[in-house]
Amino acid sequence: MSTGLNDNEIISKVLSGDHQAYAGLVDRYQSYVFTLALRMVKTREDAEEVAQDVFVKAFKYLADFKGASKFSTWLYTIVHNTGISFLRIKKLDVHSLDNEQVFERADNLDSGMRANMVEQKSKIRMVHDAISMLSPDDAQIITLFYKAEQSLEETAQVLGIETNAAKVRLHRARTRLKEKMEVYFSEEIRNL
Amino acid sequence: MNDKNLNSNAGHDGMDNRLWSYIDGTATAPEKTVIEQLLASEAAWKAKYQELLEVHQLLHSTELEKPSLRFTKNVMEEISKMHIAPAAKNYINNRIIWGLGIFFITLLTGFIVYGFGQMNFNSGQSSPIGKTLDKLNFSNLFSNNLINAFMFVNVVIGLVLLDSFLSAKRKAHRKAA
């Protein structure tokens, strides 16, 4: 295994013919890629399919990784593009950030959930549930910034936008998340 | 009205954005100082800061989701049937790109020079553009031997360049396979 090597060393090994070394990169990034995919496509089955597709594409085009950015940033760009394509193919709605329908959709999806909400829900689960109610765009930027170890500049690069735009998007996404938590998890928040 | 009052009067969105920048550590040093002063003196700012900080900490406390246990194995099985594509820079020959560019620029320049050569700049009429355009004889364009030779050479150069571009691409694909 290539666990002791850094990303660039593993990539060099893979490019020089040791394809098994790629397993080291898959092991290292599978949770990040899967979480990002799950934030976009919402179901675990679809997220696994997208994540697998991402690693296959990354392998195929590994020679194009120039090392100008972190491998993770390059990989998450593939996640972003693959996720968007998947949503388009599945004809799911990719809501824009300013689309108020996002809230209506979340309300509808979760109409029965409020009544049956488990009172002792852990705060981590609560945050996960609140994130899953966000639009793919909002959920993705929050995950990139908080869980995928990406700076604002790198997050912007993954999403193909300016750093300032990423900053505004992140602020809005967090505000919406807070609103979701206040609406659906007010009791849990009080107990924190 | 001083800065502090201006800051205090900022809308909720402004307050949120400035506090998020402060929490993320992206606020500039002077902005950071102003926010710290506001947090020390304004209860509303302090309350909002606590609220946002709580969300920030909660987000940091979340965990990554894990795919199925077979995930790595599935990916490795999938890639075992594949080859790594050659880097784009290896099969895109810059000389060919430059050659194509020069070919089209030459072609365009030839047409422009010929067009201007046909114009009579001394016609001196009240509406020179309309009149002089009338004097352009496009029928000469393809009947003049010199122009025909120029066109022929350009077309041949174009075909040669296209052929070398396609051959290079075909070779790259063969090599990858």
What value does the mean pLDDT take over residues B143-149? 71
Instruction: For residues B116 and B162, state if they share a domain.
Output: yes
Between these two residues, B54 and A95, which has the higher pLDDT value? Answer: B54
Looking at residue B126, what is its pLDDT? 57
Instruction: For residues A105 and A85, state if they share a domain.
Output: no
Between these two residues, A95 and A144, which has the higher pLDDT value? Answer: A144
Helix (H, G, I), strand (E, B) or coil at B54: helix
Amino acid residing at A116: N
Nearest chain B CA: its distance from A55 CA (Å) = 7
Instruction: For residues A131 and A182, state if they share a domain.
Output: yes
Q: What is the mean pLDDT of chain B?
A: 78
CB-based contact (8 Å) between B134 and chain A?
Answer: no
The whole-angstrom separation of Cα B26 and Cα A15 is 38
Between these two residues, B149 and A19, which has the higher pLDDT value? Answer: A19
A129: domain CATH number is 1.10.10.10
Does residue A94 belong to any structural domain of this protein?
A: no
CB-based contact (8 Å) between A14 and chain B?
Answer: yes
What value does the mean pLDDT take over residues B48-56? 89
Dump the DSSP string for chain A: --TTS-HHHHHHHHHTT-GGGHHHHHHHHHHHHHHHHHHHH-SHHHHHHHHHHHHHHHHHTGGG--SSS-HHHHHHHHHHHHHHHHHHHTT-----TT-THHHHHHHHHTTTHHHH--TT--HHHHHHHHHHTS-HHHHHHHHHHHTS---HHHHHHHHTS-HHHHHHHHHHHHHHHHHHHHHH-HHHHHH-
Supply the range of the domain harboring residue B15: 3-61
Burial of A143 (0-12, 13-18, 19+ CB in 10 A): buried
CA-wise closest residue to B106 among B141, B145, B159, B157: B157
Looking at residue A45, what is its pLDDT? 93
Looking at residue A58, what is its pLDDT? 95
**pLDDT of residue B5 exceeding 60:** no
Contacts of A128 in chain B (CB under 8 A): 62
Out of A26, A64, A126, closest to residue B87 by CB: A64
For B78-116, how does the pLDDT look when each residue is reduced to its tens digit (9 = 90+)? 999 888 887 776 666 777 788 888 888 888 888 888 877
What value does the mean pLDDT take over residues A108-125? 53
Looking at residue A117, what is its pLDDT? 46
CB-based contact (8 Å) between B87 and chain A?
Answer: yes
Does residue B70 belong to any structural domain of this protein?
A: no
Hey, of A55, A179, A180, which one would you mutate to test binding to chain B, going by the most B CBs within 10 A of its CB?
A55
Contacts of B87 in chain A (CB under 8 A): 63-64
Instruction: For residues B32 and B104, state if they share a domain.
Output: no
Does residue B71 belong to any structural domain of this protein?
A: no
Does residue A123 belong to any structural domain of this protein?
A: yes
Looking at residue B10, what is its pLDDT? 47
User: Using the beta-carbon criterion (under 8 Å), do B86 and A63 form an inter-chain contact?
Assistant: yes
Residue of B nearest to A53 (CA): B75
Between these two residues, B146 and A182, which has the higher pLDDT value? Answer: A182
CB-based contact (8 Å) between B81 and chain A?
Answer: no
Does residue A63 belong to any structural domain of this protein?
A: yes
For A58-75, how does the pLDDT look when each residue is reduced to its tens digit (9 = 90+)? 999 999 898 888 999 999
Q: Are B53 and A34 in contact (CB under 8 A)?
A: no
Instruction: For residues B95 and B172, state if they share a domain.
Output: yes
Does residue B48 belong to any structural domain of this protein?
A: yes
Q: Domain boundary residue among A89, A114, A137?
A: A89
